[in-house]
Amino acid sequence: MNPTPAVPTPEGPTPEGPTPETIARAFSGHAFHEAYPYLAEDVRWILIGGPTLVGKGAAIEACEGTLQELAQTETTFTKFRTVVGADAVVVDVVGEYSAPDQAKSVVASCDIYDFSNGLIRTITSYTAELSDDN
């Protein structure tokens, strides 16, 4: 099983630490622990169609819940694309999730990360479950 799949990173860390792109890719690829140190204390995670989480603790709690839910699930990313701006990174992902009971789902997500001073200040996440014909 693959609860935290390896996410290819196009570049390694700089002498100052990982780049915003590397941090965003880790978070969107469920390698949350790699991104936790770069969440601002007052981070806002806007889950479009759902709640807005405020604060590093709330974001980490949600991530840990996701990791528990995916603990026995195999995840394969069929699309993993980033667009990098001066203070923002957009990660466009399609993931296939296979549970031990053979249940499968395909989810598309787009996460927009706003950075300031090397920290994630805001994450805006859009997700949609895809049908078999998408």
Residue 85 maps to a domain:
yes
Q: What are phi and psi of 3, to 5 degrees?
A: -70, -30
In angstroms, what is the C-alpha Rg of the chain? 14
CATH number at residue 49: 3.10.450.50
- Asked if the structure places residue 8 within a domain, the reply is no
Total number of domains in the chain: 1
Q: How far apart (Å, rounded) are the C-alpha atoms in residues 42 and 39?
A: 8
User: Domain residues for 32?
Assistant: 20-130
Q: Between the CA of residue 17 and those of 7, 9, 12, what are the distances in Å?
A: 18, 14, 9
Residues lower than pLDDT 50 in the chain: 1-13
Give the alpha-carbon dihedral of 66, 71, 73, 76, to 10 degrees.
Answer: 70
Q: Would you state the pLDDT for residue 112?
A: 98
pLDDT at 12: 44
The answer as to whether 73 is a domain residue is yes
pLDDT reported for residue 15: 56
SS3 30: coil
Which tens digits make up the pLDDT trace of 79-94? 999 999 999 999 999 9
**Does residue 15 form part of some domain?**
no
This prediction's pTM: 0.86
Quick check: is 122 in a domain?
Answer: yes
